[in-house]
Chains A and B, each alone.
Chain A
Amino acid sequence: MPAMVAGMPFATLCGALAIAKGLSPAEVFAMSLLVFAGGAQFAAIEIWSFPVPVFALVVSTLLINSRHVLMGVSLRPKLHALSGSQRVLGCFTLADENWALAERRATVRPISPTYFLVMGIVFWANWVLWSLVGALLGPVLGDPRRFGADFAFTAIFIGLIVSLRTGRRTGAVIVASALTAALVRVLIGSPWHVLSGALAGFLATAVLRVDQPESR
């Protein structure tokens, strides 16, 4: 499956960057196992410091993953073949890639419980496995900055932002968020830039009255 092959280098990189930030392989394993959300994990690792900013990490994770709410809203009517408990368990592995695949599948034929649950578990296991590989190989490979690997994370986010944009107004939201974040980072420091940037983007959305967003 091409989507899984594409996930491998990201998971490996995620593990390696986490190790460079001072997390242990066991902690990387636990995070991939319990959180299983690439964007949120990259963001968490970026703002990770000691003492651990628990509140900022949790809020940043919540905000980045808030897109799952929309994904769930859109997918729910297509999951009628699943029982209640299958949905409650199955949605644990809901993520960008398998959500997109499930939506595509639903346009052709109904989503069966087997399809949805097996696909979720495969993506989940794939992510956990390769992030652990990255965590174990990271120290062998050395400083990620040597290969520009630290910038891979920034590039991933740029790619995600471009693919998540819903129209021209998104540009204003991004500018408001980015400028606020850069300013707060310089004036106040990490990790508060994430919250203030997100808030600025949120206010920009409200001010711009985005009435007809494209559905995702």
Chain B
Amino acid sequence: MTLDGTTFLAIVLMGLVTYLTRIAGLVIARRFRLDGRARAALDALPVSVLAAVIAPTLLTSSVAESLAGVVTIFAAFRLPLLGTVVVGVVAVVVLRLALGFSR
């Protein structure tokens, strides 16, 4: 059970900025009306960050991950989150076995 200094600093700062995002909406709702582009840009941010995080795994690691990604995207349109994850995990295990476990 250890707490590294830099790691802990990162965690505290992550917690801090997260709390800011939680309180900011309540404050903004009282003072401003978010509309048009400001709202659209905020709306698009989570999606583009999520896409940026997983893109290298899907596009540059191996064929198994890319194909499993396609399967998972289809699943995501039809299943709840948990079902999507099960389909994705099974797909990647099967494809890695079929195509050889390489990276």
Contact = CB atoms under 8 A, between A and B. Distances in A.
Given A40-B18, A173-B44, A177-B55, A23 B7 contact: yes
A77 B28 CA distance: 11
Nearest to A44: B14
Contacts of A26: 1-3
Interface in B30-82: 30, 34, 36-37, 39-60, 65, 68-69, 72-73, 76-77, 80-82
A67 to B, nearest CB: 4
B38 to A, nearest CB: 10
Interface in A137-183: 147-149, 151-166, 170, 173-174, 176-182
Contact-residue size bin, chain A (C-beta under 8 Å from the other chain) = 35 or more
A16 interface: no
A126 interface: no
Interface string B2-43: 111011111111110111111111101110001011011111
Nearest to B25: A72
A81 interface: no
Contact of A151 (B13, B36, B55, B68): B68
A92 interface: yes
A154 B41 contact: no
B51 A197 contact: yes
B43 A65 contact: no
A75 to B, nearest CB: 7
Nearest to A146: B93
A129 interface: no
Given A155-B84, A157-B53, A57 B14 contact: yes
A185 B55 contact: yes
Contacts of B19: 92
Contacts of B30: 76
B26 A87 contact: yes
B44 to A, nearest CB: 4
Given A39-B50, A178-B55, A66 B42 contact: yes
Contact of B85 (A34, A70, A155, A179): A155
Contacts of A180: 52
A119 B95 CA distance: 40
Nearest to A59: B17
A122 to B, nearest CB: 17
Given A178-B58, A201-B52, A73 B34 contact: yes
A72 B29 contact: yes
Nearest to A179: B55
